[in-house]
Amino acid sequence: MYLGIDLGTSEVKVVLLDEAGGLLAVAGESLSVSRPRPGWSEQQPEDWWQATGLAIAKLRDKAGAAFAHVRAIGLSGQMHGAVLLDAQNQVLRPAILWNDLRSVAECQALTAAAPRLHQLAGNLAMPGFTAPKLLWVARHEPKLFAAIATVLLPKDYLRLRMTGAKLCDTSDASGTLWLDVARRDWSDELLAASGMRREQMPQLVEGLQAAGTLLPEVAAAWGLGDGVIVAGGAGDGAASAVGIGAVEPGDGFLSLGTSGVMFVVDDSFRPNPASALHTFCHALPGRWNQMSVMLAAASCLRWFCKLTSVDEASLLQEIEAMPDEARASAPVFLPYLSGERTPHNDPFAPGVFWGLTQAHDRAALGYAVLEGVSFGMVDGLDALRAAGTAVSSLSLVGGGARSPFWAQLLADALQLDILTHVGSEAGGALGAARLGWLAAGGDISSVCTRPPVQAVYQPDATRHQALQTRLQLFRDIYRSRPAPQQEA
């Protein structure tokens, strides 16, 4: 058996694969995000650890006796978060997350201090990345900054608690702005630009490498035997790619989770930061990837459901019951609830409902949310194509993959075939389990296969054409927004 642990922003998800790679059981435990000031986003690492234990207990109950036969564990996680440890491995402050916006000024400072940043890291400096967060800590919490012995990414804090080892894989490290992404090694030049040193960084491994074993006390608490291997793992995007079988150049997927990701595999390092695209190491050696990233995707739907006191399934039924003319006259929604990365690199981009009238009901606004996220994905696809990346179809993963209506809307908006797969909602957790399998001796060609296709959503030319007027309005609203009021 192979166990996958995915540390997301809203949930720790765990899955168990059997010896044939089948999905035997899935469980999860929710997480909350602290927002002590506007634009801030934090979580307590101890909460991740406690939630992981609870999720493991649920999975063990579902799997029964099979759970005790786990041979290896893989890790996936939200990228960019800064877990700051002192010399005794104690957490110094709440982790600053990927969707935190406080370090805008520090992005400018880092770009000035590291002239080769784009060449080495392959990415623009954005507030979500790890390096600007450390510059912010150095400026605003200097005593705490001086006490930092190690910086870990979120999933690697779980690894520390599981194995006692301070390790990071190259895919997750790509999101720090401290990695020489072409060489797959820490860059002393980039570290120095943010006041950091190599000895404060975890050791680097590839995602499919064995990277320690489960501590005896953790194995006993989880009901596992001795010698369970823990793989290098991956950032959530690369892990989702492994889970969906996107491992060869040109393979790709679209993820609708808290954030939205369009991910395409490459066999070389081809950065294009001018389009606010991300170029990272893939979880497999000799592979890289390009990604367009939306900061809010399925989280927009969760936000709207909470705001209007409705569950997602009921709202989707209301939306599906709408006549076509009601959708055509719905408000237009800009999904920038946390700012935006691709293509705008604008942390102050606002969320917007435009065109509201008394005739609009909850279903009309709900449809606008689905459509607005889909239009954000269109902008991401255009950025990928402008960078020379060819895309002909995409697999859909993450929580949004559960909605056939949303999958068809994406196909119509993107004018691409959208495929869903059996187990595709497991996302990064499935890929993490596969990386564990590879670390235990599995073969890439047999482990990293495409899961069975569940459904294919083909674009409808008439609906695609009808969406173009609303897409243009979507873009015009962003361009005509007032200048942002930046917080000091």
Q: Where are the domains of the chain?
A: 2-244
Query: Which letter does DSSP use for residue 29 in this model?
Result: E
- H helix intervals, 182-273: 188-193, 216-222, 236-244
- CA–CA gap between residue 165 and residue 81 (Å, rounded): 18
Furthest-apart CA pair in the chain: how many Å?
A: 64
pLDDT class of 345 with cuts at 50, 70, 90: confident
Dihedral of CA 474/477/479/482: which sign?
A: negative
Dump pLDDT digits (tens) for 140-180. Answer: 999 999 999 999 999 999 999 999 999 999 999 999 999 99
Whether domain 2-244 has CATH 3.40.50.2300: the reply is no
Is there a cis peptide before residue 343, judged by omega within 30 degrees of 0?
A: yes
pLDDT of residue 483: 67
* Structure token pair of residue 55: 């999720």
- CA–CA gap between residue 241 and residue 450 (Å, rounded): 10
pLDDT of residue 391: 85
Q: Which residue has the higher pLDDT, 482 or 12?
A: 12
Dump pLDDT digits (tens) for 222-235. Answer: 999 999 999 999 99
Average pLDDT of the residues in 93-113: 95
Residue type, 381: L
Residues 6+ apart with CB under 8 A from 81: 43, 95, 96, 97, 98, 130, 153, 154
Whether the per-residue pLDDT at 113 is higher than 90: the answer is yes
* Inter-axis angle of helices 428-439 and 236-244, nearest 10: 80
pLDDT of residue 145: 98
Residues 6+ apart with CB under 8 A from 248: 265
pLDDT of residue 488: 41
Nearest-CA neighbor of 403 among 361, 373, 365, 382? 373
pLDDT of residue 485: 56
The DSSP bridge pattern shows strands 332-334 and 352-354 to be antiparallel
Whether the per-residue pLDDT at 486 is higher than 70: the answer is no
pLDDT of residue 225: 94
Average pLDDT of the residues of the chain: 94
Whether the per-residue pLDDT at 343 is higher than 50: the answer is yes
pLDDT of residue 50: 98
pLDDT of residue 487: 47
pLDDT class of 442 with cuts at 50, 70, 90: very high
Min mean pLDDT across 213-227, 240-254, 303-317, 387-401 is at 387-401
Average pLDDT of the residues in 479-488: 66
Is 360 labeled as ligand-binding?
no
Average pLDDT of the residues in 89-105: 96
pLDDT of residue 422: 82
- H helix intervals, 14-80: 45-63
* Structure token pair of residue 285: 């050696």
Whether the per-residue pLDDT at 47 is higher than 50: the answer is yes
pLDDT of residue 484: 60
Average pLDDT of the residues in 94-98: 97
pLDDT of residue 115: 95
The whole-model pTM stands at 0.85
Catalytic residue numbers?
Answer: 236
Residue type, 434: R
The DSSP bridge pattern shows strands 72-77 and 2-7 to be parallel
The DSSP bridge pattern shows strands 167-169 and 23-30 to be unpaired
- CA–CA gap between residue 419 and residue 441 (Å, rounded): 30
Nearest-CA neighbor of 296 among 284, 288, 304? 304
Q: Which of 23-27, 276-280, 339-343 has the highest mean pLDDT?
A: 23-27
- H helix intervals, 36-99: 45-63
Average pLDDT of the residues in 183-207: 97
Region class of 451: left (phi > 0), else alpha (psi between -120 and 50), else beta: beta
3-state secondary structure of 119: helix
Is 80 labeled as ligand-binding?
yes
- CA–CA gap between residue 41 and residue 33 (Å, rounded): 6
- CA–CA gap between residue 297 and residue 377 (Å, rounded): 9
Q: What are phi and psi of 5, to 5 degrees?
A: -120, 120
* Structure token pair of residue 317: 């039924």
pLDDT class of 401 with cuts at 50, 70, 90: confident
- CA–CA gap between residue 223 and residue 3 (Å, rounded): 13
Percent of the chain surpassing pLDDT 70:
99
Radius of gyration of the chain, Cα coordinates, nearest whole angstrom: 21
